[in-house]
Structure 1
Amino acid sequence: MRTPKSWSPSLAIALLLAVLLPAPVLAVAASTDAPASQRNDTGDSALSDQQAINREIQLFRGSAISLSQAMAIAEALHAGSTTADVSFDGASHAPVYRVKTLHNDRVWQHAIDATTGRIVGGPAALPVKELDADDRSNLAALRAVRQRLSDAVRVAEHAASGKAISGGLVRERGRLNFAIVVISGSELKEVILEPPGAAGRK
Structure 2
Amino acid sequence: MLAIVLVAIILPAPVSANASQTGEPASLRNEAEESAASDRQAVNRELELFRGSAISLSQAMAIAEARHAGAIAADVSFDGTPDSPVYRVKTLHHDRIWQHTIDATTGKIVGGEAALPLKELDAGDRSNLVALKTIRHRLADAVRLAEQAAAGKAISGGLIRERSRLSFAIVVMSGSDLKEVILEPPGVARRR
Fold agreement, TM-score > 0.5: yes
Among 12, 17, 22, the alignment partner of 2:11 is 22
Change in Cα spacing, 1:177 to 1:201, as seen in structure 2 (3 Å) is same
Matching residue's letter, 2:41 = Q
Among 89, 108, 119, the alignment partner of 1:118 is 108
User: Which structure carries more strand by proportion?
Assistant: 1
Change in Cα spacing, 1:98 to 1:20, as seen in structure 2 (3 Å) is closer
Give me the whole-angstrom Cα distance separating, in 2, the residues matched to 1:57 and 1:180. 16
- Is the counterpart of residue 61 in structure 1 residue 51 in structure 2? yes
Matching residue's letter, 2:25 = P
Q: Are 1:83 and 1:99, in contact at CA under 8 Å, matched by a contact in 2?
A: yes
- Is the counterpart of residue 89 in structure 1 residue 71 in structure 2? no
Change in Cα spacing, 1:56 to 1:127, as seen in structure 2 (3 Å) is same
Percent identity, aligned pairs only, is: 70
- Is the counterpart of residue 148 in structure 1 residue 138 in structure 2? yes
SS of the equivalent of 1:143 reads helix
Give me the whole-angstrom Cα distance separating, in 1, the residues matched to 2:120 and 2:17. 48
State how 1:39-188 maps to structure 2 within 5 Å.
Answer: 39-188=29-178
Q: Are 1:177 and 1:193, in contact at CA under 8 Å, matched by a contact in 2?
A: yes
Q: Are 2:9 and 2:40, in contact at CA under 8 Å, matched by a contact in 1?
A: no
Matching residue's letter, 2:33 = G
Q: For 1:140-166, what per-residue CA distance to the aligned partner results, in whole angstroms no more than 9, with x for missing partners?
A: 110111000000000000000110000
Aligned residues: 183
Question: What are structure 2's unaligned runs of at least 5 residues?
Answer: 1-6
TM-score (norm 2): 0.90
Q: Are 1:20 and 1:188, in contact at CA under 8 Å, matched by a contact in 2?
A: no
Q: For 1:124-152, what per-residue CA distance to the aligned partner results, in whole angstroms no more than 9, with x for missing partners?
A: 00011111100100001101110000000
Aligned-pair CA distance for 1:62:
0.4
Matching residue's letter, 2:128 = N
Q: Are 2:9 and 2:39, in contact at CA under 8 Å, matched by a contact in 1?
A: no
Aligned-pair CA distance for 1:30:
5.3
Question: What are structure 1's unaligned runs of at least 5 residues?
Answer: 1-17
SS of the equivalent of 1:146 reads coil
User: Which structure carries more helix by proportion?
Assistant: 2
Which runs of at least 4 in structure 1 moved beyond 2 Å after TM superposition?
18-24, 27-34
Aligned-pair CA distance for 1:56:
0.6
SS of the equivalent of 1:101 reads strand
Q: CA RMSD in A?
A: 1.8
Greater relative contact order (Cα < 8 A, sep 6+): 1
TM-score (norm 1): 0.86
Change in Cα spacing, 1:22 to 1:46, as seen in structure 2 (3 Å) is farther
Aligned-pair CA distance for 1:93:
1.8
Q: Are 2:60 and 2:102, in contact at CA under 8 Å, matched by a contact in 1?
A: yes
Give me the whole-angstrom Cα distance separating, in 2, the residues matched to 1:144 and 1:43. 47
Matching residue's letter, 2:105 = T
